[in-house]
């Protein structure tokens, strides 16, 4: 089956610093990647959708300048949390798809803690 | 906008018994997909079952089956012969011709020995 990896699985950073999370599709080409945020005991909230080579489309209420998304290749998307603050602490999950008619395959998630 | 409602925040089932998780959705589309995802304590999202709206036959995957009622906009998941490993959060999700998945709030399933 299709495999999506995320790196790192856990990261702790100091307030005011930036942190980058990578999402890779290991055995398929992902034309579209998605970034979700999940708070404890809550559902997944879509943050943005990115198509390879294009600017990401952000959901309402998600700060574009804070959550920078790059999808430079068909197998890699990155989420950079800039000037992180404690309220950015959360579980971030990516997923990847070969297209609108195809499944989304999820990565294992990244737990971000901002101190 | 499409909404997905899971009205059961928590459910409990005994091992080997059957449990049904409820999901309703709201859409004006005629062509769409419905999914049940499982999220165990590892938090890895796992696809349990998928249903295409144009198919009248209910999807089944081993011990997992759905009751898809298109007119009622209902999509429940039945887990038969429950196992301890079935304990997890279960999310119902909707997708139409667009890319995005819309998730319900989830149901936490506890399986007791």
pLDDT at A56: 93
pLDDT at A5: 97
- Measure CB to CB from residue A100 to each of B50, B98, B108 and give the nearest one: B98
Give CA–CA dist A53/B67, Å, rounded: 40
Would the CB atoms of A100 and B50 count as touching at under 8 Å?
Answer: no
Q: Which residues of B touch A (CB under 8 A)?
A: 42-47, 50, 91, 97-101, 103-106, 108
Give CA–CA dist A105/A52, Å, rounded: 16
Which is higher by pLDDT, A99 or B90? B90
pLDDT along chain A (115 residues), means of 10: 94 97 95 94 93 90 95 93 97 91 90 97
CA B74 to chain centre: 10
At B32-86, the pLDDT tens digits run: 999 999 999 999 999 999 999 999 899 999 999 999 999 999 999 999 999 999 9
How distant, in Å, are the alpha carbons of A96, A107, B68 from that of A25? Answer: 7, 9, 32
Stretch B85-90: mean pLDDT, rounded? Answer: 98
Which is higher by pLDDT, B77 or B30? B77
Local confidence band at B100 (pLDDT 50, 70, 90 cut-offs): confident
Give CA–CA dist B87/A25, Å, rounded: 28
Cβ atoms of residues A50 and A69 within 8 Å: yes
pLDDT at B99: 74
What chain A residue is nearest to B35 in terms of C-alpha separation? A103
């Amino acid at each position: 089956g299709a495999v999506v990896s995320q790196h790192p699985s856990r990261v702790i950073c100091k307030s005011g610093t930036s942190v980058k999370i990578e999402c890779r599709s290991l055995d398929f080409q992902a034309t579209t990647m998605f970034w979700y945020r999940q708070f404890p005991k809550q559902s997944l909230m879509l943050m943005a959708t990115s198509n390879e080579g294009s600017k990401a489309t952000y959901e309402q209420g998600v700060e574009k300048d804070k959550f920078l998304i790059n999808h430079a290749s068909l197998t890699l998307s990155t989420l950079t949390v800039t000037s992180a603050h404690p309220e950015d602490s959360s579980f971030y999950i990516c997923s990847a798809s070969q297209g609108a008619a195809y499944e989304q395959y999820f990565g294992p998630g990244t737990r971000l803690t901002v101190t | 906008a499409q909404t997905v409602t899971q009205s059961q925040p928590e459910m409990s089932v005994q091992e080997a018994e059957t449990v049904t998780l409820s999901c309703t959705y709201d859409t004006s589309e005629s062509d769409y997909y419905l999914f049940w995802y499982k999220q165990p304590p590892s938090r890895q999202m796992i696809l349990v079952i998928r249903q295409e709206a144009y198919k009248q036959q209910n999807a089944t995957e081993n011990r997992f089956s759905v009751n898809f009622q298109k007119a009622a906009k209902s999509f429940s998941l039945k887990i038969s012969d429950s196992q301890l490993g079935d304990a997890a959060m279960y999310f119902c999700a909707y997708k139409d011709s667009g890319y995005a998945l819309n998730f319900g709030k989830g149901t936490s399933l506890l399986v007791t020995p």
